[in-house]
Amino acid sequence: MKRVSLTQYLVEEQRLNNTIPAELRLLIEVVARACKTISHAVGKGALGEVLGSAESENVQGEVQKKLDILSNEILLEANEWGGHLAAMASEEMESIHPIPNRYPMGEYLLLFDPLDGSSNIDVNVSIGTIFSVLKARDGMDAPTEQDFMQAGSKQVAAGYAVYGPQTMLVLTTGNGVNCFTLDREMGSWVLTERDMKIPEDTQEFSINSSNTRHWYPPVTRYVNEMLAGKTGPLNKDYNMRWIASMVADVHRILNRGGIFMYPADARDPDKPGKLRLMYEANPMAMIVEQAGGAATDGRQRMLDIEPTKLHQRVPVFLGSKNEVERVTQYHQE
């Protein structure tokens, strides 16, 4: 097999399709390098003393794990000095992180969920990192949170790393989705799957069914129809998978189809779902759409939502196109 490295892929993609200017290439390579460092820490586990709680809370009131904080620091440090960014934002930081004055300022904004699937860290189940890249406004000198308030359709790149049996990087710059596997001996990312496509139909769904009693009627209807299987209105049997790491669930869906749902529910009307729009839902929605799937909040296309807050939450329905359209349709009826 002729090996194509991440760098070679990025250079060739720019030559062929003009989607990755040099500064964006640097950004992607720096993020990928940071993910390599996180992967190394994840792989050490107890031997690296990275497991367990940090005994602090983030802005959303979630208890932070040591790896949440470490991964956030790794991404911040890696991305500060290269001159490719104007500012960063993260699940683990209340406010945006402008690039310090001592470094040149670049034209991109980077958002990330440094460690996704925190509840799986201590039990050796796949976890990941999610990132989203936006363009800063022209001539910006002091970035503010307002500069990040752009719809997901404005993303110029999005991706995730999944730390599983293999460490993989899945990337889109708006021209399809490609997957790279970390060669641990060589320390390099190798292109292992080009132009990933999600099957339009599926017989597999993902939802945390412990919340069943809180669901709104469209979700209850849809899940009940799937559970009814061959004898129900959908005329086929479904299988169910829930990893509790969005990265790992989306990675499975990208490879063999499926629908992922984290709906809003009746528990707390002020909390529309669990997942965050800017650094979880939007980057995953861009990847899924680029792979031929669909992503909505149950009512509208995820990538069309105009954000109002950095840490805002949204209901999420994404994956195989026909199923996402069905459950979105049920919300309209």
Q: Which residues bind Mn ion (CB under 5 A)?
A: 91, 113, 115-116
Contacts of 210 (CB under 8 A, 6+ apart): none
Evaluate the CA torsion angle 275, 279, 280, 282 in order and state its sign: positive
Least distance from ligand AHG to the Cβ atom of residue 206, Å: 8
Is residue 13 a contact residue for ligand AHG (CB under 6 A)?
no
Shortest distance, CB of residue 274 to ligand AHG, whole angstroms? 6
Q: Does 323 bind ligand AHG (CB under 6 A)?
A: no
Indicate which of Mn ion, ligand AHG, none lies near residue 245 (CB less than 5 to 8 Å, by partner kind).
ligand AHG
How open is the CA angle 220-225-227, to the nearest 5 degrees? 95
282 binds ligand AHG (CB under 6 A): no
92 binds, among ligand AHG, Mn ion, none (CB under 5 to 8 A by kind): none
**Counting contacts by CB under 6 A, is residue 246 touching ligand AHG?**
yes
The mark string for 33-62 relative to ligand AHG (x by CB under 6 A, - otherwise) is -----------------------------x
Pick 71 or 173: Cβ nearer ligand AHG: 71
Q: Smallest distance, Å, CB 18 to ligand AHG?
A: 33
**According to the binding rule CB under 6 A, does residue 129 interact with ligand AHG?**
no
Stretch binding ligand AHG (CB under 6 A), from 26-34, 35-43, 110-118, 172-180: 110-118
* CB-CB contact of 201 with 320 (8 Å): yes
- Give which of ligand AHG, Mn ion, none residue 209 binds (C-beta under 5 to 8 Å, depending on kind): none
Question: Counting contacts by CB under 6 A, is residue 244 touching ligand AHG?
Answer: yes
User: Please, what is the minimum distance in Å from the beta carbon of residue 61 to Mn ion?
Assistant: 13
Rule CB under 6 A: say whether 119 interacts with ligand AHG. Answer: yes
Question: How many residues touch ligand AHG (CB under 6 A)?
Answer: 12
16 vs 63 by CB, closer to ligand AHG: 63
Among 245, 282, 290, 328, binds ligand AHG (CB under 6 A): 245
Among 72, 176, 92, 163, residue whose Cα is nearest residue 121: 163
Closest CB 125 distance from ligand AHG, rounded Å: 11
Query: Applying CB under 6 A, which residues contact ligand AHG?
Result: 62, 91, 113, 116-119, 208, 244-246, 274
